[in-house]
Amino acid sequence: MQLWLVDHPTALDDLLYDHGLSLLDPSSCERVRRFYRRADACRCLVGRLLPRVLFSEHGVAPADMTFVTTDAGKPYCITPGLRAPLGYNVSHDSELVAMAFAPGDHGPPAFRIGVDVMKVQAPQREGFASFVHTVGDTLTDGEKRLLLSSDVPQNEALARFYLIWTIKEAYTKALGLGLGFDFRRIECDLATNVVSVDGAVAIDWRFEIFQVAVDEDTYQGTAVQFVGSGNGTVVSLTQGQIVRSGASRFLRNALRQLKGLELENADNSNK
């Protein structure tokens, strides 16, 4: 499994934003423009472009790319020019957009791959213990005990919460079932780094976690893939599996790769 990260999506200037829209099909372009807040539109734009750049690198001409969704809303690409099936999934939060991808070995047509990323931040309007109780219907009893243990410093408990949450989100996204999956069916035992579903270790799944710093903030993420055989353990993505770029550089590369358009980088920014 590989991971592409794009940071500072909201820093896109008007020129790059408008040129980026020109790389999308009319439906995707309308989806991006529908957002009221420019920051949300920028994140959506980058998220829509990531798979297009990916499939271009795998030999698919932009004109041959067709993106559709399953009945539950999970996107995938159908194209006659793809050398081998490829599964992907996209997530974004604040100043980070992530795409996990891998060969499409299980669960066509969208394949069983999911990713989730979230900025680690303390609750704004309530204490951490109250926050855990508020979201308690998504956590197992064991997870709540772990998070509320007096032996765990609050900053560590907060980091553990986001790890548990992104594991659950990424797993359900990999399933492609949409909303309605009971998160309590998933249990993350961080003492043993094992994930169980419905009381049984998820031995057919791979759980790969990552942490990223963007400016002063920390982002927690998890990528999940159905592999057919394994041990259900949580492991860290290696640096060799991750490619990271600033949004402005990513857009310039996308324009070059998908449209043959070179834009001068006036401020030499890597963002």
Closest Cα partner for 194 from 182, 177, 206?
Answer: 206
pLDDT at 265: 67
The pLDDT tens digits for 250-261 are: 999 999 999 988
How far is residue 197's CA from residue 55's CA, in Å, rounded to a whole number?
A: 32
Say which residue, 246 or 63, is predicted with more confidence.
Answer: 246
Indicate the SS3 state at residue 170.
helix
pLDDT at 133: 92
How far is residue 127's CA from residue 50's CA, in Å, rounded to a whole number?
A: 37
The pLDDT tens digits for 206-219 are: 999 999 999 999 99
Q: What angle do CA 120, 125, 128 make, to 5 degrees?
A: 55
The pLDDT tens digits for 101-129 are: 999 888 888 899 999 999 999 988 888 99
pLDDT at 271: 62
pLDDT band at residue 81 using 50, 70 and 90 as cut-offs = low
The pLDDT tens digits for 224-251 are: 999 988 788 899 999 899 999 999 999 9
Q: What angle do CA 246, 267, 212 make, to 5 degrees?
A: 20
Q: What angle do CA 83, 223, 183 make, to 5 degrees?
A: 125
Indicate the SS3 state at residue 69.
strand
Residue 268 has pLDDT above 70, yes or no: no
What residues contact residue 267 under an 8 Å CB cut-off, 6+ apart? none
Closest Cα partner for 270 from 243, 241, 242, 250?
Answer: 250
How far is residue 173's CA from residue 194's CA, in Å, rounded to a whole number?
A: 19
Q: Where are the alpha helices (DSSP H) in 70-220?
A: 128-134, 141-148, 154-175
Say which residue, 81 or 33, is predicted with more confidence.
Answer: 33
Residue 270 has pLDDT above 70, yes or no: no
> Tokens 């907060």 map to which residue?
158
Give the end-to-end CA distance of the chain in Å, rounded to a whole number.
Answer: 25
* Strands (DSSP E) found in 81-120: 86-93, 96-103, 113-119
